[in-house]
Amino acid sequence: MSLNEQTKAIQSFITKHSKVSDIPARELSDFYIQLIDCLVDHNHQYYIEDKPLISDKEYDDLFSYLKKIEEAHPEIITSNSPTQGLIGQISEWFQQAKHMTKLMSLENTYNAQDLKERDTRAKKIVEKNNSQVLSGGSLKFSVEPKFDGLSVELIYEKWIFKQAITRWDGRVGEDITVNMKTIKNIPQKLKDPIDISVRGEILMPKSVWKEINKEREEDGETPFANTRNAAAGSIKLLDSAEVARRGLVCYIYDVLKIEDGKLKMDILQFLWLPVFKWKKEADTIDEVIKICLDEKVKKELDSQDIEFDGLVIKVQNEEQREIIWATDHHPRRAVAYKFPAQLAATQVLSVDFQVGRTWIITPVANLEPVQLSWAKLQRVSLHNFDFIKDKDIHLHDWIWLQRSGEVIPYIVSVITDRRTGEEKIIHPPKVCPSCNEAVMQKDMHYYCVNEHCPEKTKQQIQHFVSKNCMDIMGIGESIVDLLVENKIIENIADIYKLSDPTIQIQLRKFPWFGDKKVTEIAKGVEESKHKALRRLLNGLWISHVGKKMAQDIASQIEEGRWKIENVDNLEKAITDITFLDSIYWIWEKTVESITTFFHNKHNLKLLEQLEKAGINIDPNKYTDLIKASEAKGSFSITGSFDLPREKIAELFQQQGYLLHESPTKSTDFMLIGEKAGSKKKKAQELGLIIYEWRESITKQFPFLKTIITETNKPKTQSLF
Pairing of strands 343-355, 424-425: unpaired
Q: Topology of 343-446 in CATH?
A: OB fold (Dihydrolipoamide Acetyltransferase, E2P) (2.40.50)
Among 3.30.870.10, 3.30.1490.20, 3.40.50.80, 1.10.150.20, name the CATH number for the domain at 533-613. Answer: 1.10.150.20
SS3 8: helix
Average pLDDT over residues 289-299: 91
**Superfamily name and number for 454-528:** 5' to 3' exonuclease, C-terminal subdomain (1.10.150.20)
Q: Do 135 and 170 touch, CB atoms closer than 8 A?
A: no
Give residue-wise pLDDT tens across range 533-563: 999 999 998 888 888 788 888 888 877 767 8
Please list the residues that pair with 355 across neighbouring strands: 361
CATH of the domain spanning 3-88, picked from 1.10.10.10, 1.10.150.530, 2.60.120.10, 1.10.287.610:
1.10.287.610
- Tell me: pLDDT of 629 over 70: no
Rounded to whole angstroms, the Cα distance separating 80 from 149 reads 26
* Model pLDDT, residue 606: 93
Q: Are strands 334-338 and 108-109 parallel, antiparallel or unpaired?
A: parallel
pLDDT exceeds cutoff 80 at 166: yes
User: H or E segment at 200?
Assistant: strand 196-203
pLDDT(348) > 90: yes
Ordered by start, the domain boundaries in the chain are: 3-88, 108-338, 343-446, 454-528, 533-613, 628-711
CATH topology of domain 108-338: D-amino Acid Aminotransferase; Chain A, domain 1 (3.30.470)
Of 72-86, 304-318, 451-465, 508-522, the poorest mean pLDDT is in 72-86
According to the model, what pLDDT value does residue 413 have?
87
Comparing 215-224, 412-421, 580-589, the range with the smallest average pLDDT is 215-224
Classify 28 as helix, strand or coil: helix
DSSP type of residue 170? S
The distance from CA 529 to its chain's CA centroid, rounded to whole angstroms, is 35
CATH fold match for the domains 343-446 and 454-528:
no
Among the listed residues 687, 688, 707, the one whose alpha carbon sits nearest the alpha carbon of residue 697:
707
CA gap 112, 90 in Å, rounded:
35
* Active centre residues (catalytic): 146
- The answer to whether 97 and 169 are in contact (CB under 8 A) is no
Q: Which residues pair with 163 in a beta bridge?
A: 155
Coil vs helix vs strand at 676? coil
- The one-letter amino acid at 652: F
The DSSP call for residue 249 is E
DSSP string, 409-428: EEEEEE-GGG--S--EE-PP
The DSSP letter of residue 241 is: H
C-alpha to C-alpha distance for 146 and 278, rounded to whole angstroms: 11
Name which of 590-604, 630-644, 697-711 the model is least confident about: 697-711
Q: Can you give the pLDDT at residue 10?
A: 92
Fold of the CATH domain 628-711: Rossmann fold (3.40.50)
Query: What are 29-52's pLDDT values in tens digits?
Result: 889 989 988 888 887 777 656 567
**For residue 264, which amino acid is it?**
K
Average pLDDT, the chain: 83
